[in-house]
Structure 1
Amino acid sequence: MTTPPFPAPTTAELAVVSAQLGRTARGVVGIAARCECGNPTVVATTPRLPDGTPFPTFYYLTHPAATAAMSTLEATQVMPELSALLAEDDGVAAAYLAAHEAYLADRAQFGEVSEIDGISAGGMPSRVKCLHALAGHALAAGPGVNPIGDAALERSTWSPEKCRCDDPGAALRDVEASTA
């Protein structure tokens, strides 16, 4: 097993993620991307949750402003446009397939789950199904890895470079202070 590109989450980070989600975070193995202020944006999640449920979405978008931006894109019918791009551009299709394979390799570091073997997230490698998952992968992996995730982020009103947290960094600082 190779070492993941992120450390295990702290108790404070898990509390912030749980607050972002409005429920207890499950199976989080790391913070894969952060907002400009340091708050979690994307978590990495085990392929099998603690209750035994298979969970294919390794990179899970948690930041409320980012998830709202992806929901808005989905509601404004950007997915058919991105699906057409995937169908019409062989270069994009090849890069999307490579993104799918990279996603599976990242998740495999945390175990193989037969029920989700070969299944990544967001419709990869052949369709566009969930912009939340694709944007989460793009944020975690960095620009140029997931072309559809990158395109969704480019079309969105949200960016990790411009903090839109209610109070930048406050959530993580407050939790860290209360657990110190």
Structure 2
Amino acid sequence: MTTPPFEPATEHDIAVASAQLGRPVRNVLGIAARCVCGNPTVVATAPRLADGTPFPTLYYLSHPAATAAMSDLEADHVMVELQDALGDDETSAAYHAAHAAYLADRGQFGEVPEISGISAGGMPVRVKCLHALAAHSLAAGPGVNPIGDLALERGDWSPTVCECVDYAIEP
């Protein structure tokens, strides 16, 4: 079993991610990707929330600028184009592998029968949520999720440029 690519969240990380989302974050396992300034970009969430709800989205995009960029792509119907990319055998095979990698990462935190075989973002055969796919790409790194990588390339946000606001979180 491998270790997922994230580090434990600090109290400050939890406060910032909550401010980013405009609500308290739930059942955070760690920070899966960070802005170049150090703020959370992707939080890793437990596969079963404290209230018992199954939660398939291990990698959750929290950074407002990244979230806005993915929302803009979805509004521009880029998902149709990215869905068409799955017609390429190599891209389709890589997307299936991304699905398996996602399930393996999440499976390290317990099996949840209600979401067995379900990853995120429509994997392995659909493009459903660019936020989830971009979050997976940011967490796992380039080359793991081809559709998430393409979404990040197409969006007007870059993980190499800080667009954070001052969250005024007390240390």
Same fold (TM > 0.5): yes
Q: Does 1:27 align with 2:27?
A: yes
How much has 1:6 moved relative to structure 2?
A: 2.4
Paired residue for 2:71? 71
Choose between structure 1 and 2: higher helix proportion: 1
Separation of aligned partners in 1, 2:94 and 2:159 = 23
Separation of aligned partners in 2, 1:139 and 1:166 = 20
Q: Does 1:84 align with 2:84?
A: yes
Q: Does 1:44 align with 2:44?
A: yes
Sequence identity (%): 72
Alignment length, in residue pairs?
Answer: 171
Q: Does 1:141 align with 2:146?
A: no
Paired residue for 1:132? 131
Q: Any idea what the Cα deviations from partners look like across 1:107-127, whole Å, max 9, x if unmatched?
A: 011111000000000000000
Tell me the secondary structure at the aligned position of residue 43 of structure 1: strand
Separation of aligned partners in 2, 1:39 and 1:2 = 25
How much has 1:161 moved relative to structure 2?
A: 0.1
Q: Which segment is superposed worse, 14-23 or 2-11?
A: 2-11
Separation of aligned partners in 2, 1:11 and 1:166 = 18
Unaligned runs of 5+ in 2: none
- Which amino acid letter does the alignment assign opposite residue 150 of structure 1? D
- Which amino acid letter does the alignment assign opposite residue 126 of structure 1? V
Tell me the secondary structure at the aligned position of residue 44 of structure 1: strand
Q: Does 1:97 align with 2:96?
A: yes
- Which amino acid letter does the alignment assign opposite residue 98 of structure 2? A
Tell me the secondary structure at the aligned position of residue 25 of structure 1: coil
Separation of aligned partners in 2, 1:48 and 1:113 = 7
Separation of aligned partners in 2, 1:54 and 1:94 = 27
Tell me the secondary structure at the aligned position of residue 42 of structure 1: strand
TM-score in terms of structure 2 length: 0.96
Separation of aligned partners in 1, 2:3 and 2:123 = 24
Given that 2:47 and 2:55 are in contact with CA atoms closer than 8 Å, whether structure 1 keeps it comes out as yes
Tell me the secondary structure at the aligned position of residue 72 of structure 1: helix
Q: Any idea what the Cα deviations from partners look like across 1:43-86, whole Å, max 9, x if unmatched?
A: 11100011110000000000000000000000001000000111
Separation of aligned partners in 2, 1:3 and 1:84 = 33
